[in-house]
Amino acid sequence: MSTLTVTPRTRLVRRPDRGSFDRATVHAILDEALICHVGFEVDGQPYVLPTVYVRIEEHLYVHGSVGSRMLRSLREGAQVCVTVTLLDGLVLARSAFHHSMNYRSVVLLGRAQEVTELPEKRRAFDALLEHIAPGRSREVRPADDLETRATTVLRLPIEEASAKIRTGPPIDDERDYALGCWAGVVPLALTAAQPIADPALPAAIPLPPSLQPYRRLR
Ligand SMILES: Cc1cc2nc3c(=O)[nH]c(=O)nc-3n(C[C@H](O)[C@H](O)[C@H](O)COP(=O)(O)OP(=O)(O)OC[C@H]3O[C@@H](n4cnc5c(N)ncnc54)[C@H](O)[C@@H]3O)c2cc1C
């Protein structure tokens, strides 16, 4: 199915015109962003923690130390809400009230499952590296068995999810278009500066192809 099923939990109430349940749209946002925020509850206290993730087909993978409380909670089947946000611009209106932001975001609800099979864990590690810097998984030493076992990997199905997208100029009140103040959009994008070599790196080792130059998808 090219469209995600809308559920009572993912139906957009506020500005539904900005919502999308198109899988390709959701995937594109997930593939471009670098981090997600994972919301979960422990003993009635909500936590929202940032972490790295990667999408492989119809699943989102997160990983971390076996000691991570976040991953332990998720592994035990807790309900989880993952959000991913790409900030595309500052929307500066003629009134304080109508200032906004241009963005593309995804909200994903569900329960995670632990990945225990070593081949799938290794595939997730490679994909995580590729998500950060395409080509990187072929340039470095892969995780050994000890490192693989010391890492918890969880996958969350991309089933109950929504995207929301704001684009374009500010939307002002009719009475304010005559005001003399500047209005418009300041576009924002994530860009990388020149890589800085590790001081311990021998001078003969050149920048790898994955960093020439380093660019995020768009
Ligand atoms: C960078 C950024 C800045 C924002 N600033 C503001 C702000 O200042 N004030 C404000 O009120 N809102 C802001 N929003 C929008 C905000 O995320 C919510 O969409 C909005 O507040 C409506 O919340 P709600 O609980 O009424 O949503 P509802 O419409 O009731 O949410 C129902 C369902 O819609 C989906 N949904 C809602 N919001 C999103 C989303 N952003 N992305 C994907 N799916 C979504 C979820 O599945 C959710 O469970 C901002 C969003 C972004 C990304």
pLDDT tens, position by position, 17-40: 999 999 999 999 999 999 999 999
Q: Domain 16-168 - what CATH class?
A: mainly beta
Nearest in space to 99 (alpha carbons), one of 168, 167, 171: 171
User: Do 38 and 48 contact (CB within 8 A), yes or no?
Assistant: yes
Whether 111 has a pLDDT exceeding 80, the answer reads yes
Atom of ligand 1 nearest to the CA of 16: 29
Whether 1 has a pLDDT exceeding 90, the answer reads no
Among protein residues, the one with the nearest Cα to ligand 1's atom 37 is: 12
The alpha carbon of 181 and the centre of ligand 1 are apart by a number of angstroms equal to 28
Residue 12 CB less than 6 A away from ligand 1:
yes
Residue 20 CB less than 6 A away from ligand 1:
no
Quick check: helix, strand or coil at residue 52? strand
Tell me what pLDDT residue 215 has.
82
Share above pLDDT 70 across residues of the chain, in percent, rounded to a whole number = 100
Residues forming a β-bridge with 155: 61, 113
**At 154, is the pLDDT very low, low, confident or very high (cuts 50, 70, 90)?**
very high
Calculate mean pLDDT across residues 152-177.
Answer: 97
Residue 71 CB less than 6 A away from ligand 1:
no
The alpha carbon of 12 and the centre of ligand 1 are apart by a number of angstroms equal to 8
**At 218, is the pLDDT very low, low, confident or very high (cuts 50, 70, 90)?**
low
The average confidence (pLDDT) of the chain is 95
Q: How far apart are the first and last CA of the chain?
A: 24
Whether 118 has a pLDDT exceeding 70, the answer reads yes
The alpha carbon of 193 and the centre of ligand 1 are apart by a number of angstroms equal to 31
Among protein residues, the one with the nearest Cα to ligand 1's atom 24 is: 14
Atom of ligand 1 nearest to the CA of 9: 49
